[in-house]
A and B are shown apart, each in its own frame.
Chain A
């Protein structure tokens, strides 16, 4: 279906054009966002609560339906895809959630393997008949995140940091071309937050896939991101390297200045 374009003009992995989202008619949460996300490294999306960061990231894989605009994934507009075609493209988009969203009553191993569900018939998935290479990959990933000894424990037995690492393993299990992370550190303590960001950083380095992270913590964003997008009021007000984020820029993003030290 997708005709590959000449390499010279290879499209960005994810590009958003004129994206508008209104949950209620007439009150847009996103007011025409256009960005080509960089193909490497971590891109941090920062901005105050309620400014549409989560909506933006959820529009990318259409967990939230955009009101208008285009979401180009390898040049294919996801917004116009049928349900079935959308599912096939979602397989290549990994997602990590603020509250981990693991299936609590399934084991850690089942949660990691659920990243392969898009590639498996429902019947085989129900009977847990995964191909051996999937199971091998799951073990490797659990080793990478240091949780192999918990493989047969239920997900609700783990701590927050451990759950988030399982959540990341599940997303990587999809062998995605891009990773979306919606506030992955907001429910975690500062030390664990850094560990999670380090893990995401190592994934973008070793797998050469872009990671888009919504994040509240500005120092953490500056430390790990190669590219920063600042949002305010449903629009982009800053785009550039983390070094360019001056106090003035931050005031434009968050408004006021009393919150800064």
Chain B
């Protein structure tokens, strides 16, 4: 047999039984849920057939002048909404993120700020948009407000976390010069987090551009409304035009983002 010392040793990798059981349970439950929800193979094949017919009806994209005008108007409104909401969100989340950073601020300020940020993050933009549509009526204002709330939630949280990771030695050196508080922020804190802040902000602009289409579906302005109408009228060729236009906007925004990030290396 083998050498007795080796036999006495425990195995190098212990089996993780709880994890194995959890995986097994997940698989079993998925099959059970699928059977209850009537997800069957026949149903899937039928769906594919339907899908092909639907896609066929989208071609060729509708490029009639009146449709293009409608598209341009909706798309332009969406972009405006995204930019205004991003600007508001960025400007507001700077102080909010700063006040929520636990390494710079006392607990009685950070707690309410963190609560506020958590509140902004707790619902999807579309749900917030529905609330604002009810509150201020249909149109772009509701969309702008919804996207601003979402931006504060996202940038504010990440900005606060970025500040909590800075080197306090640099801050201490600025404090030692007798600098007033705002100068300590401007010289000791901001330079350390600026590139990350720009990163979060450009990401949020991009995400607002996409979400500004979404909030239109519930009546909060922009191309989403036009898109929803096209669906309802079975105007699938116009729908394709809208989708292609949205893809183009997102790609242009991606390229712009990269340029902006280069400015701040």
Contacts and interface: CB of A to CB of B under 8 A. Distances in A.
Contacts of B172: 63, 97, 101
A122 B183 CA distance: 5
Contacts of A114: 174, 177, 179, 187
B179 A118 contact: yes
Given A97-B169, A103-B192, A63 B176 contact: yes
Nearest to A113: B187
B15 interface: no
B194 to A, nearest CB: 7
Given A91-B178, A106-B191, A101 B173 contact: yes
A104 B180 CA distance: 20
Contacts of B170: 101-104
Given A63-B172, A99-B169, A126 B178 contact: no
B178 A117 contact: yes
Interface in A81-129: 87-93, 95, 97, 99, 101-106, 110, 114-118, 120-123, 125-126
Contacts of A122: 180-183, 186
A118 B178 contact: yes
Contacts of A89: 178
A227 interface: no
B64 to A, nearest CB: 53
B102 interface: no
A170 interface: yes
B197 to A, nearest CB: 12
A93 B175 CA distance: 11
A43 interface: no
A234 B184 CA distance: 32
Contacts of A117: 174, 177-180, 183-184, 187
Q: Which of B178, B182, B184, B192 has the most CB of A within 10 A?
A: B178
Contacts of B178: 87-93, 117-118, 174
A61 interface: yes
Contacts of A126: 182-183, 186
Contacts, number: 86
Contacts of A88: 178
In this complex, the interface size class of chain A, counting residues with CB under 8 Å from chain B, is: 20 to 34
Nearest to B176: A95
Contacts of A95: 173, 176
Contacts of A120: 183
B222 interface: no
Contacts of A103: 170, 173-174, 187-188, 191-192
Contacts of A116: 177
B169 A105 contact: no
Contacts of B177: 90-91, 114-118, 170, 174
A58 to B, nearest CB: 9
A104 B195 CA distance: 13
A12 B195 CA distance: 46
Contacts of A115: 177
Nearest to A167: B173
Contacts of A90: 175-178
Contacts of A118: 177-180
Nearest to A110: B187
Nearest to B169: A101
A167 B176 CA distance: 12
A115 to B, nearest CB: 6
B248 to A, nearest CB: 36
Contacts of B167: 104
Interface of A: 61, 63, 87-93, 95, 97, 99, 101-106, 110, 114-118, 120-123, 125-126, 167, 170, 174
26 contacts: A63-B172, A87-B178, A88-B178, A92-B178, A97-B169, A97-B173, A101-B169, A101-B173, A102-B170, A103-B191, A104-B192, A105-B192, A110-B187, A114-B179, A117-B174, A117-B177, A117-B178, A118-B178, A118-B179, A120-B183, A122-B183, A125-B179, A125-B187, A126-B182, A126-B183, A126-B186
